Amino acid sequence: MSLSLPGLPDLPHDVEGLKSLIEREVAALRADVRRKAETHLPLGTAISHASPMSSQSLETFTSGRAEPADDLPAGQRETGGGGPDGAAGHDPWACLCSSMAAIPVSAALLTPVEDETGEITDFVIRAGNHVRSSEWLEPPDTQVGQRFLEARPGAATSGLLAALTSVFKSGRALNGLTVDYTEERYGRLHRAPLLYYAASCGDHLLTTWLPARSQAESLTLDAQHIASLGWGHWDLLSGAVNWSEGLHRIFRTDPGMPWSLTELCDAVLPGEVPALAELITAVLAGEEPSWTRIRFRVFGEVRTLDLLGRPVAGTDGRPWAVHLVARDLTPQMRSRRRLAETQRETEGLRQQAEAERRIASVLREALLPTHSAELAELGLTVAAAYLPAEPDAAVGGDWYKCRRLPDGRVLVAIGDAVGHGLDAVARMAQQRHALAGLAQTGATAGEMTTWLNELVCSDPSALTATMITGHIDHDRVLRWACAGHPPPLLRRGKEVSPLPSDHLGPLLGLMPGYAYETAPVPLRSGDLLLLYTDGVVERRGEDITVGINNLSRSLSGNAGLSARTTLDRITADYTRTAHDDDACLLAIQVD
């Protein structure tokens, strides 16, 4: 969309069009100012076309390369002009000496010292003011009469003495020489970056100096760096361009080579030209637009900047200069992109974990039911708790089974397939369903365990597993077999003890052909039988008997409570570590 501003054409959509617009507007501004200046001059007065306001060419402005005026030749440096100061018999340096105190920076009037060959070897300080350029440097007025190298011993090694000598001999002024001035005082080295200016007149040389960077300037530079800020000033009449160090850092330009407005246009991305055109034309029209986000290409890298423009109005109310403030958002944009990528990856992993959790949850409901209602008819109250090693998976390799068989017996089993996650779930399901099929044959617990061991041993891809299986008969006797699994705990009153385990056999899949035995345990009314997997009692670096004893104390401490409440208390006190296995508990209470 093209935006029209009063007195300005429609906004361009390409770089060349924007540059042409800027050149036309600047040329029109200069022509108008020149015409008004000529109109108000007295009749017969000629305009000096060496003035930057009247003769600075458009090319100089758009290139940002204004050359300084030449220094006066040596023959014109001995007097202050044809005024009263140059009258015969008057000493202009006496007047200069008396005015030294009015110079706001450190200043000294020097007289050269020459050797037999006429070479300048030093200077004498004839006058000075009271301004210190550094806390550790004396003011020049306290050094009057001293040799310059005596007062400033670091001048020789820093190149300052040679520079002042060249000014005196050539007559060309010294305009801003940065001197890294170093001096040793009382056994300690001091250093100060100083900016020197000097000019000669007659037999004397006036030099001034100031800190190369004030504390306020240093703090400003630090603030620019921290806030990623920079600013630039474009004088539309003279073509002078000044950039802050922060803006040079943003565009990676040489500190002595700021860009003109047209050069700035060359760096903008094609799609951003209308936004930059709207900003610049608004400022040229005297408006102060809000922050505008524009992207530039700087040495192959896209940088995102927030720009704020402000016109600097002249006496006629028209903008004679443009001031732009830039805030670099590139690091934040990179961080946002990285954050967005991380969020996408995290969301993908979350969705994957959620899918696995749903699958595992469905498997858990299908594979690990308690059949509480039908068992209650037989006088048994059953409760189960499952604590997988990977909470997001919802189920692992541990499993249990407790249900009524067609012959009236209750099948009781608990097992642990090696591993975690869905792989362990697959092995768990295979072993659990195999046991369910064997239970339909009417076989004893030992026979079922023996057959299941042969099944696991015959599968080359299967891993070992532990299991307890048994039946509770009509006469309330548990007949059980064990394959490498911790023995169940029996709570009778307040007493808790593990079931006798003389008949324990090896892990499933470890010894093919092994015949597992069946052992009976009579149960009484009020008894609570607790079956559990090793994840409940096993801790890294600790003997498993310690965990079994702790579980026994917890079970005893909850004497008299129901199966569900007992498990809730045990799981509430359960503390998981990073290396724990799956944990499963099955409590069967005889009513």
Shortest CA distance to 170 belongs to which of 67, 68, 69, 71? Answer: 71
* pLDDT level of residue 54 (50, 70, 90 thresholds): very low
pLDDT, mean of residues 557-582: 82
Residue 184 carries which side chain, given as an amino acid letter?
Answer: E
C-alpha to C-alpha distance for 174 and 194, rounded to whole angstroms = 13
Whether the pLDDT of residue 434 is over 60: the answer is: yes
Look at the block and give the residue holding tokens 């440096």. 77
**Tokens 């007062």 identify what position?**
151
Which has the higher per-residue pLDDT, 260 or 68?
A: 260
Torsion angle, alpha carbons of 454, 459, 460, 466, to 10: -60
Round to whole Å and give the CA distance between 585 and 591.
19
Distance CA 301, CA 320 (A): 33
Burial of 557 (0-12, 13-18, 19+ CB in 10 A): middle
- Residue 580: pLDDT band (50, 70, 90) is low
pLDDT band at 136 (very low <50, low <70, confident <90, very high): confident
User: For the CA atoms of the chain, what is the radius of gyration?
Assistant: 47
Most confident region among 158-172, 178-192, 409-423 by mean pLDDT: 158-172
Asked if the model's pLDDT at residue 32 lies above 90, the reply is: no
> Cβ-count burial of 587 within 10 angstroms (0-12 exposed, 13-18 middle, 19+ buried)?
buried
> For residue 244, what pLDDT band results from cuts at 50, 70 and 90?
confident
520 and 534 Cβ atoms separated by less than 8 Å:
no
pLDDT at residue 228 in the model: 73
Q: Is the pLDDT of residue 372 over 50?
A: yes
pLDDT(299) > 80: yes
Judged against a pLDDT cut of 90, whether residue 258 lies above it is answered with: yes
The pair of three-digit structure tokens given for residue 84, joined into one six-digit string:
């009263």
As a whole number of angstroms, the distance between CA 405 and CA 344 comes to 50
Mean pLDDT value across residues 285-290: 84
80 pLDDT higher than 50: no
If you average pLDDT over every residue of the chain, what do you get?
Answer: 81
| Residue 130: predicted pLDDT | 93
**pLDDT score recorded for residue 86:** 40
- Residues 264-282, buried b or exposed e (16+ Cβ, 10 A)? bbebbbeebbbbbbbbbbb
Burial of 50 (0-12, 13-18, 19+ CB in 10 A): exposed
Q: Which two tokens stand for residue 374?
A: 């039908």
**φ, ψ for residue 543, nearest 5 deg:** -65, 140
Q: Can you give the pLDDT at residue 395?
A: 61
Mean pLDDT for the stretch of residues 292-301:
91
Domains of the chain: 15-40+50-63+216-328 (3.30.450.20), 98-212 (3.30.450.20), 368-590 (3.60.40.10)
pLDDT at 289 over 90: no
Q: Which residues lie closer than 8 Å to 584 by C-beta, 6 or more apart?
A: 384, 385, 386, 387, 398, 399, 400, 414, 416, 532, 533, 535, 536
CA angle 75, 79, 85 (to 5 degrees): 165
Residues facing 387 on adjacent strands? 583
| pTM as predicted | 0.44
Positive/negative CA dihedral, 415, 418, 419, 423: negative
Task: Please give the Cα distance from 300 to 297 (Å, whole number).
Answer: 6
* Pick from 107-116, 205-214, 358-367, 558-567: least confident: 358-367
- In terms of average pLDDT, the best of 318-327, 435-444, 458-467 is 435-444
By the 8 A CB rule, do 279 and 285 touch? no
Number of H helices, E strands in the chain: 17, 20
pLDDT at 225: 58
**N- to C-terminal Cα distance for the chain?**
84
Among 22, 527, 536, residue whose Cα is nearest residue 263: 22
Which tops the pLDDT comparison, 317 or 429?
429
**Amino acid occupying residue 440:** Q
Cα separation of 80 and 70, whole Å?
17
Q: State how far the Cα of 361 lies from the Cα of 425, in Å rounded to an integer.
A: 11
Q: Please report the pLDDT score of residue 173 as a whole number.
A: 92
What is the spatial distance between Cα 97 and Cα 204, in angstroms, rounded to a whole number? Answer: 11
Residue 492: strand pairing partners = 495
The confidence score (pLDDT) of residue 73 equals: 38
Confidence of residue 530 (pLDDT cuts 50, 70, 90): very high
The residue among 215 and 355 whose pLDDT is bigger is: 355
3-state DSSP call for residue 121? strand
**What are residue 67's phi and psi, to 5 degrees?**
-90, 140
- Please give the structure tokens belonging to residue 549: 């004893």
Interatomic CA distance for residues 29 and 24, integer angstroms = 9
408-419, pLDDT tens digit by residue? 999 999 999 876
Residue 33 has pLDDT above 80, yes or no: no
Token look-up 């900047």 returns: 305
Query: Which of 138-152, 165-179, 382-396, 436-450 has the least mean pLDDT?
Result: 382-396
The pLDDT value given to residue 36: 72
- Which band of pLDDT confidence, cut at 50, 70 and 90, is reported for residue 47? very low
Choice among 148-157, 219-228, 338-347, 420-429 with the minimum mean pLDDT = 219-228
Q: Which has the closest alpha carbon to 310: 368, 378, 233, 229? A: 233
Instruction: Report the alpha-carbon distance of residue 467 to residue 461 in Å, rounded.
Output: 19
Name the pairing type of β-strands 495-498 and 583-590: unpaired
- Containing 402, the helix (H) or strand (E) segment is strand 398-404
pLDDT score at 438: 93
Question: Which is more confidently placed, 346 or 419?
Answer: 346
Task: Quote the pLDDT of residue 392.
Answer: 54
Of 77-86, 367-376, 555-564, least confident by mean pLDDT is 77-86
Residue 524: exposure state from Cβ atoms within 10 A (0-12, 13-18, ≥19): exposed
Q: Which residues pair with 147 in a beta bridge?
A: 124
